[in-house]
């Protein structure tokens, strides 16, 4: 039988995780501004954002009136992910923080990770910024389409990395002091009969180059790359009459669509990040044995001022794939996204002590 001293604080930590277990996701390829600092090739250039998959502009309570930061920041807060912000370093570092380079008119292979799936759909937009200090505006973004002509990519079930293709427009290029911003917009659809303003939404912005120096334009694949579990429908959820939120510009100037200024340096070939899609492990069932886990991991959680934010947003990353080895089949029933409310302390009964080892020291900032 587990000791009450262990179960109570651990149940509290799990409760904190569950409380923040609303939809979360991030644009992996190309890496968005909040994620790029985690990649080795950009180490030291952009700060690491431990909450990079929670850019929901403050959540439904803040976006219900249609106000949101252009790249997912709170409307009334600091615009850390917009050009010139803490995680948007193109004006200072130029090509050093370009996440990917594509040929004009090419078909981009994109990747999005959802850590909590509430269905809905994705859409993508492109904004060309001609000068180093130009800032993205809502009006600047032009909606992109898939090879099949659809704008919206309906999200299948599952918490995983999803692959999709979107096409760049012909005749648009940006490199040197000019660059383009690719924006991912995720509209969840787990709240029925309230329209888009009542849904959780996410925005990510990625800095890219579009140039003939990036290579030839690939042909679209015969079928979009989709998760093996399901194929996304071309239709999006039925919406009631409610306007999409708009983001007032953080700058009053709209980028001028003139010819790209001459580059002052050669165009680099940024490394295309290839995130690894963790493969689930089928653990061998064993009868859970009562254990008295060492309290150090719990103590560390309470000693760190940022521990709960880190647990909410990052602990899941450290629970796969290694910690999954120690999850018994019964616990998986409590970890399904549809039943996240059922992630109660009884699920902890099926966690072996080794699993907690992966929550420290990696999962806690020391």
pLDDT digits (tens, 9 = 90+) for 327-357: 344 343 334 343 333 333 434 444 444 444 4
For the cut 80, the answer to whether the pLDDT of residue 165 exceeds it is yes
pLDDT tier, 163 (very low <50, low <70, confident <90, very high otherwise)? very high
DSSP 360: S
Alpha-helical segments (H) within 240-343 = 296-303, 307-318, 329-332
Using alpha carbons, select from 127, 109, 220, 123 the residue that is nearest to residue 172.
Answer: 127
What element of type H or E holds 5?
A: helix 4-19
CA distance 156 to 118: 9
Q: Mean pLDDT of all residues in the chain? A: 67
Collapsed DSSP state (helix, strand, coil) of residue 81: coil
For the cut 80, the answer to whether the pLDDT of residue 306 exceeds it is no
Q: How far, rounded to the nearest angstrom, does the alpha carbon of residue 249 sit from its chain's CA centroid?
A: 22
pLDDT digits (tens, 9 = 90+) for 27-41: 999 999 999 999 999
Domain boundaries along the sequence of the chain: 4-17+281-357, 31-214
pLDDT tier, 325 (very low <50, low <70, confident <90, very high otherwise)? very low
For the cut 90, the answer to whether the pLDDT of residue 106 exceeds it is yes
- In the prediction, which pLDDT does 9 show? 43
pLDDT digits (tens, 9 = 90+) for 174-186: 999 999 999 999 9
Distances (CA, A) of 162 to 227, 236, 278: 6, 17, 12
CA distance 178 to 133: 9
CA distance 114 to 202: 11
pLDDT tier, 157 (very low <50, low <70, confident <90, very high otherwise)? confident
Cα torsion 185, 36, 18, 300 to 10°: value is: -160
**Beta strand pairing call for 201-210 and 24-29:** unpaired
**Sequential DSSP letters for 206-260:** EEEEE-GGG-PPPPPPSS----TT----SSPPP--S-PPP----SSSPPPP--PP
Cα torsion 323, 56, 158, 47 to 10°: value is: -40
Collapsed DSSP state (helix, strand, coil) of residue 166: strand
For the cut 60, the answer to whether the pLDDT of residue 250 exceeds it is no
CA distance 15 to 268: 46
- In the prediction, which pLDDT does 65 show? 74
Rank 129-143, 230-244, 345-359 by mean pLDDT and report only the highest: 129-143
Question: Which top CATH class is 31-214?
Answer: mainly beta
């Amino acid at each position: 039988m587990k000791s009450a001293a262990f179960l109570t604080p651990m149940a509290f930590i799990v409760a904190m995780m569950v409380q923040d277990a609303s939809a979360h996701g991030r644009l992996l390829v190309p890496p968005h501004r909040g994620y790029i600092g985690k990649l080795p090739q950009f180490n030291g250039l952009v700060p690491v954002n431990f909450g990079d998959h929670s850019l929901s502009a403050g959540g439904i309570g803040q976006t219900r009136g249609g106000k949101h930061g252009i790249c997912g920041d709170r409307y009334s807060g600091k615009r850390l992910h917009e050009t010139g912000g803490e995680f948007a370093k193109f004006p200072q570092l130029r090509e050093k923080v370009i996440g990917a380079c594509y040929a004009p008119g090419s078909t981009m292979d994109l990747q999005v990770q959802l850590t909590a799936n509430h269905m809905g759909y994705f859409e993508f937009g492109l904004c060309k910024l001609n000068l180093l200090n130009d800032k993205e505006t809502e009006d600047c973004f032009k909606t992109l389409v898939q090879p099949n002509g659809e704008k919206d990519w309906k999200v299948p079930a599952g918490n995983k990395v999803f692959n999709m293709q979107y096409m760049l427009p012909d005749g648009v290029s940006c490199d040197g002091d000019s660059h383009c911003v690719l924006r991912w917009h995720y509209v969840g659809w787990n709240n029925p009969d309230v329209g888009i303003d009542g849904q959780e939404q996410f925005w990510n912005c990625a800095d890219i180059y579009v140039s003939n120096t990036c290579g030839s334009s690939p042909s679209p694949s015969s079928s979009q790359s989709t998760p093996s579990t399901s194929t996304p429908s071309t239709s999006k959820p039925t919406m009631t009459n409610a306007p999409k939120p708009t983001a007032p510009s953080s700058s009053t100037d709209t980028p001028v669509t003139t010819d790209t200024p001459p580059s002052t340096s050669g165009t680099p070939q940024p490394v295309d990040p290839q995130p690894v899609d963790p493969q689930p492990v089928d653990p061998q069932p064993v009868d859970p044995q009562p254990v008295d886990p060492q309290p150090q991991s719990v103590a560390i959680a309470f000693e760190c001022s940022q521990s709960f934010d880190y647990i909410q947003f990052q602990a899941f990353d450290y629970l796969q794939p290694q910690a999954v080895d120690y999850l018994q089949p019964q616990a998986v029933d409590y970890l399904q996204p549809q039943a996240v409310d059922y992630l109660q302390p009884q699920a902890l009964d099926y966690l072996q002590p080794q699993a907690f080892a992966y929550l420290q020291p990696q999962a806690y900032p020391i």
